[in-house]
Chains A and B, each alone.
Chain A
Amino acid sequence: MGVAASPGISIGYAHLIIKTRPTLSGILIDDQSIPIELEKFEDAIRTSMEQLELLKDKAKSNLEEFDILESHIELLQDPQINDEVTTYITEERKNALDAVTLVANKMVQLFEGLDDAYLRARSADIRDIGDRIAENLQGNHKVITPLGPNSIVLAKELSPSDTISMDLEKVLGFATETGGAVSHTAILAKSNNVPAVLGCGKLLESVIHGDHIIVDGTQGTVIVNPSENVKEEYRQKQVDFIKHKAYLNSLKEVPAITNDGVGITLLANISNDQDMKKALEYGAKGAGLLRTEMMYMEKESFPTEEEQYQFYKSVAIHAQGTPVTVRTLDVGGDKPLGYFDLPKEENPFLGYRAIRISLDQQEIFSTQLRAILRAGVHGNLKIMFPMISSVMELRKAKEILDQVKEELFSEGIAFAPNIPVGIMIEVPSAAIMADVLAKEVDFFSIGTNDLCQYTLAVDRGNENIKQLYDPFDPAVLRLVHQSIERANDHNISVSVCGELASDTRATLLLMGMELREFSMSSTSIPEVKDIIRKHNIKKAKEIWNHVMNMDHSKSITDYLEKHI
């Protein structure tokens, strides 16, 4: 198993690339040799530049490759590298080859020690130009066995120069022992649609040239000499992948508009900045729900304001200007927190959880609000309180928010003063009182999962009764409808972020209730968009008008399944 760096499946033959790097000679040169070694170094730089310029001409059609080569040419002229090599030669009397090797090792180490994954991956560029200069110093050039057709390239690591001088038309896939998702090999593989699995660990010793190889760049697996059955299974997966990709691509750029011209906003439910990135790739127009629990759960203790600020800021920036609704901490009930000792309760779902904890433990709440407000400067963030059950809870939460704003203001810290504030509608009392609540917030987000289990008094985790849990129950649908209607009455925005939003049977039904914003997992967006584009609002209204008079969920789902 390795890092799934470029999706897709390829089945081909192993082509091994094995490289050796010069070891340090330890030779100390005499004074007369210093100018000679310096000149050798300069010659090697010049030769390297010429080689890269030639490769650049070849790479013109591929922007990624072109950029890599440009940055390598720049690195070759870098004064830091040149100065250090010169110092090694003139002051420590190393020969040019040793000097270059030492400087390259040092720089690579420097980059590998950085905490930013993108910069860490740049150590491969330094390694690459170091190798190039070293090769030119030795005057020997790599002899590359030409690639056969249908090659799967296997290597310990692949330098940008390796991949660029390769005839990519013959490469079906890449698998390497080291490297990660932001390495050049990954970027190049993705931009050329070549499946790749990187960072596989020990791989080369069990493979010989020409072995049958399967690379599954979606799952991150490499299979050596698969049986005929396994090969057949992967051929099928390959066909499915290509079909699915074409389908996604066809829907990604097109707008979510009904065929009578009504636009629907499709948002994503996310847990971090990487989800945000993926959401935009699936065509989301922002995030309707950023769950913050995961960030708390991944830590050993409560995350600090600074940690949280960095987290929200990164999400805001990855959203590229689209809105992100940040839900404040929603733990307790079914979501415990390791380092936070919550009392054992008879009825955790009716107990100490979500906003109830935040209002009770104000320090935890204030820290989170400060971090969100500060991060709001970097994008379009909104704040949402979970599990509001009465207007008093909302007022208290807003009061604390105002206090936090005042603190930030008096401390002279930048924050987003007009950040929109909304609530989850997930407790029946909130849905019933939606008209009152709507006057005091900027938006609603209807959480159908909790709303369903509270309305029907069904714990969906309980095996004996889980069949009673059904968001298509007319009681639940009426509360959803009422919440949407009250929000529209008061001109505040409203979305649905529970599972109902991604259930394609409910898409038209919710649109018929005048819902225009849906938030769901990214992967559901294309399918829901497909439904929206194939139908019109008139039909959606008819569906809701019909369903609102039905008396049980079975008849409702039967009807809906027939009408999409």
Chain B
Amino acid sequence: MISKEYIITDPDGIHARPAANLIKIGRKFQSTIQIKKDKDPIELNSMIGLMMLGAKGGDSIMLTIEGEDELEAAQAIEDFFQNELSKP
């Protein structure tokens, strides 16, 4: 299992577009990917679930990735946070 923590840098949190792309990553891999803010983790397969997390700029979120292709999945998530979410 791989755990990763990120801080949301966009002032408005995870917008609809990046949210959609993050879900796509979640669906692409076999691994089970969970995401949590401060309460219970949710599975990374639902836009609604992700938006209901209500992650805003400055919040930290935790992801856990578990499964056969967890390394690849973790890398894809890393790229996503580096390239897509850090853009102003």
The interface of chain A, by Cβ under 8 A from chain B, is 67-68, 70-71, 73-75, 78-81, 107, 110-111, 114, 116, 118-119, 122, 125-126, 273, 277, 313-314, 316-318, 320, 378
Contacts and interface: CB of A to CB of B under 8 A. Distances in A.
B16 A125 contact: yes
Given A70-B20, A317-B57, A119 B51 contact: yes
B54 A114 contact: yes
19 contacts: A70-B20, A74-B19, A74-B47, A78-B47, A79-B45, A80-B49, A111-B51, A114-B52, A116-B13, A118-B13, A119-B13, A122-B51, A125-B16, A126-B48, A314-B57, A316-B58, A317-B58, A318-B57, A320-B88
Contacts of A70: 17, 20-21
A67 B45 CA distance: 18
B42 to A, nearest CB: 10
| Shortest 8 CB-CB contacts between residues of A and residues of B | A67-B17, A71-B16, A74-B20, A317-B57, A71-B20, A317-B11, A80-B48, A318-B11
Contacts of A110: 52
B48 A78 contact: yes
A78 B88 CA distance: 27
Nearest to A118: B12
Given A74-B19, A313-B58, 4 more contacts: A71-B16, A71-B17, A79-B46, A316-B58
Nearest to A379: B58
A74 B16 CA distance: 10
A119 B46 contact: no
Given A71-B47, A107-B48, A116-B54, A122 B11 contact: no
Nearest to A117: B12
B24 interface: yes
Interface in B2-27: 9, 11-13, 15-17, 19-21, 23-24
Contact of A75 (B45, B47, B58, B88): B47
Contacts of A107: 48
B37 interface: no
Contacts of A378: 58
A302 B20 CA distance: 40
A277 B52 CA distance: 25
A118 B20 CA distance: 15
Nearest to B10: A317
Contacts, number: 64
B56 interface: yes
Given A71-B16, A116-B13, A273-B11, A78 B58 contact: no
A110 B13 CA distance: 18
A262 B46 CA distance: 53
Contacts of A68: 16
A7 to B, nearest CB: 20
Contacts of B24: 74
A75 B48 contact: yes
B48 A81 contact: yes
Interface in B40-79: 45-49, 51-52, 54, 56-58
A122 B58 CA distance: 21
Contacts of B54: 114, 116, 119
Nearest to B21: A70
Contacts of A317: 9, 11, 57-58
Of A71, A114, A126, A314, chain B has the most CB atoms within 10 Å of the CB of: A71
Nearest to B49: A80
A440 B1 CA distance: 51
Of B16, B46, B57, chain A has the most CB atoms within 10 Å of the CB of: B16
A80 B20 contact: no
Contacts of A78: 46-48
A93 B88 CA distance: 48
B8 to A, nearest CB: 9
A74 B23 contact: yes
A80 B45 CA distance: 9
B58 to A, nearest CB: 5
A119 B58 CA distance: 16
B10 to A, nearest CB: 8
Nearest to B24: A74
Contacts of A75: 47-48
B15 to A, nearest CB: 8
Contacts of B19: 71, 74
A70 B12 CA distance: 19
Contacts of A273: 11
Of B12, B24, B47, chain A has the most CB atoms within 10 Å of the CB of: B47
B76 to A, nearest CB: 16
Nearest to B9: A317
A126 B51 CA distance: 12
A393 B45 CA distance: 57
A122 B54 CA distance: 12
Contacts of A122: 16, 51
